[in-house]
Each structure stands twice: as C-alpha cells, then as structure tokens.
Structure 1
Amino acid sequence: MGDEHRHAGSPRRQELTRAIYREARTVATRQALADQAVAAKLGINGTDLLCLGVLDHAGPVTAGRLAELTGLTTGAVTGIADRLEQAGFAHRVKAPEDRRKVIIHPESAQRERTGALYAPLLDALDDWCASHTPEELETVLDYLRSFSDSLPLLTERLRQREE
C-alpha cells in the first residue's frame, strides 16, 4: 500500500473506514439476532443469555458486580440469577467474606449447551481462517480487539450522561 492510502484524510481510507464500521454494525446486528435464536433454543431470554456471556468472560461474580457490568439493576439481576439457576445454567453461592453477598457461578453444562448451538458459526470461522495467513489473521484479531476495547468506553460515557 502506498503512502496515499495511509493518509487519514484520503478518500479511499475514509471510504474503507466507513465500510468497516458498517460491516461491524452488520455483524453486531446479526450476532444479536443469532443470540436471540440461541436464547430461544435454550429456553431463556436474550438478557439472560447476555448475562451468561458476561459470566463466561468475567467468571463468577457477585450479583452487584453483574449489575455493574451489564447496566442492569440489582433487582433485575436477581430475577436473571433465579431463571438461570432454575434452567441449570448457573448456581449461587454465598460469598465467604460477606454472607449477605451472593456469587453467581456459571455451570460448565451451560458452555457445552451454548457451544453446541454456536458450532456451525465456529466451523465457518475455522474454514475462513484456514484460507488466510497468520499475519492476516493477526490483523483481523488486532482490529477486533481494538473495536471491542472501544465499546466499554462508549457504554460508560453513555451511562454517565443518563445520570
């Protein structure tokens, strides 16, 4: 790529930047729709699945911390924890340092059940990755991490404006 393509203000760079953003939004929308379908297959709702994803990423957390991470109220998280526990996706344990607090733990069966539903997506990703060089995959991974890292900052900024 020549220097004219590296300049932040070049029309081609602006066009590509906008196209990347549009594709990222399309991916996010399609992921949300797929997640709704997965949640329905699992017999839970989309917010419950979202919380399972947070638990999978963050590990066991208190109900209060799950509320912070999701922007939900502690009352809503209590209802979610009830439903997840009843459906076999999580269990609650009293915090050893403060018995008034509850730690929500994801069940390993949850990963297996949800993983099986996402398997076709992972198979398609494996196929796509097999046709690209490690360097190309590193570029894609770098982009995804950068975009992912910017989303919590946006979320926090938007939540602060609500107060």
Structure 2
Amino acid sequence: MTSVTSTPGDAAGRRRRATVEVKQGLRELGAELTLLNRQVGTRLGLKDIDLDCLDLINAHGPLSPTALARRAGLHAATTTGVLDRLERAGWITRDRDPADRRASLIRALRERNAELLALFAGMNSSVDEICADYDATELERLADFLHRTANAGRNAAEELTGD
C-alpha cells in the first residue's frame, strides 16, 4: 500500500478550490435569501426595499431618516417614500428626537415582529438544525467569517457609492 502525501502545490490548489466554493456558496446564499425576503415581503404587502429598511430599523434603530438612508444606500427622497409606506402599514413610528426636537427618530413597532418571525420560522428552524452539526468553536468561527464577509460587502458598496 502506498501512502499519499500532500505537496505544497496540492495544498495551494485545494485552498483555491475551497475559496472558489465559498464564494459560489455566498452567491447562492445571497440569491436564495433574496428570494425568501421577496416571498416574505409579498406576504406582508411590502416592497423588497421596504423589508430591507424595516430589517435595518429593527437591527439598528431607532434611527434618524438620514442614518437609515446611509445604511440602506438610498437617496433621501427614496427613504421618505419607504418610511411613508412602512408607517401607513403600521410597521414603524416616527418620534421626535429628544436630543433635537427638529429631528425625528424611526422606531420599529416591536409588536409586529411576531408576523415577521412566523414567516421566517422555517428558515430559522433549518439554520438551528444546521448549527447543531457544529461545536461552539466552529460556530464562533463561522459567525466571525459571516460578520467579516458582511463588513466586506458593506465596504465594497460604500466604495461604489463614493461614501
């Protein structure tokens, strides 16, 4: 029986192939999450951008309209239209900023979150099942990878917008 040993060239090729697989996986994940979000938005009667902004408000709010526009990469007028639709549909409220009475803060109405969570329940359950296959150290490494990748995406988007 012969033993197979790895050469440095083999290791480099394996690493390149794995990196390509990661990038392809991220593209596939992005496409599938876009589809899921579109389906959720349709169920809720929200446009894609409305759901994106609602997610940002839930994650980072309360936010000023300017801060939301910056995070979402939207023009101020577009952001106003999104906020008008979200407010009419009962997803957000605009409150006076206590630090500056001339400004407003956008806050998600948390009582509506159950509707969102119900529509994402299937995906959340699937992710829980997938995570069960990994130990805590592996999950921490995956979480780090995903956060760093999200930051890279945000930085790339900012470079394209010139911010």
Q: Is the TM-score greater than 0.5?
A: yes
SS in 1 for 2:162: helix
Extract unaligned runs of 5+ from structure 1: none
Which runs of 4 or more aligned residues in structure 1 lie more than 2 Å from their structure 2 counterparts after TM superposition?
2-7, 96-100
Extract unaligned runs of 5+ from structure 2: 1-5
> Match of 1:132?
134
> Match of 1:63?
65
Q: Distance in 1 between matches of 2:83 and 2:92?
A: 7
* TM-score, normalised relative to structure 1: 0.89
Q: Distance in 1 between matches of 2:10 and 2:111?
A: 47
Q: Distance in 1 between matches of 2:57 and 2:148?
A: 22
> Match of 2:145?
143
Q: Distance in 2 between matches of 1:6 and 1:48?
A: 47
CA RMSD in angstroms, aligned pairs only? 2.0
TM-fit CA distance, 1:80: 1.1
* Structure showing greater Rg: 2
Partner deviation per Cα, 1:33-90 (whole Å, 9 max, x = no partner): 1101101111111000000111112111111111111111111111111111111110
Partner deviation per Cα, 1:109-138 (whole Å, 9 max, x = no partner): 232111110011111111111222222222
* TM-score, normalised relative to structure 2: 0.89
> Match of 1:46?
48
Given the superposition, is the C-alpha separation of residues 15 and 60 from structure 1 closer, same or farther in structure 2, using an over 3 Å criterion?
A: same
Given the superposition, is the C-alpha separation of residues 102 and 5 from structure 1 closer, same or farther in structure 2, using an over 3 Å criterion?
A: farther
